[in-house]
Amino acid sequence: MISQKVTLNAPSGMHARPAGELVKLVKDLAPNKITISNGIKTVNAASMLSVLSLGIKCGTTLTVSAEGDQESEALDKVVSFISNITQ
């Protein structure tokens, strides 16, 4: 398992649309297991309700973890996606 920190800079935070796109990306990266943590709670990134339950606001630093055969590539894609959310 590997992890990396990333800060969400989207002014609106993590709302339904980017959360849905994130979940779709994570499901496409299966069988790698991706989790996201806000420092208090860790959730499975393949569940939209779980991702939304973190209440991620602009400026929140998250820890993204990946486990699997292609964990490095999966982690890079998820971190890049989160860091590029603009709305």
Find residue 5's DSSP bridge partners.
Answer: 63
Phi/psi at 10 (nearest 5 deg)?
-70, 125
* H or E element, residue 79: helix 71-83
User: Of the listed 5, 11, 12, 15, which one is catalytic?
Assistant: 15
Q: Which of 38, 75, 73 is nearest to 59 (CA)?
A: 38
Rounded to 10 degrees, the C-alpha dihedral 71/74/78/84 comes to 130
Is 15 one of the catalytic residues? yes
Active site residues: 15
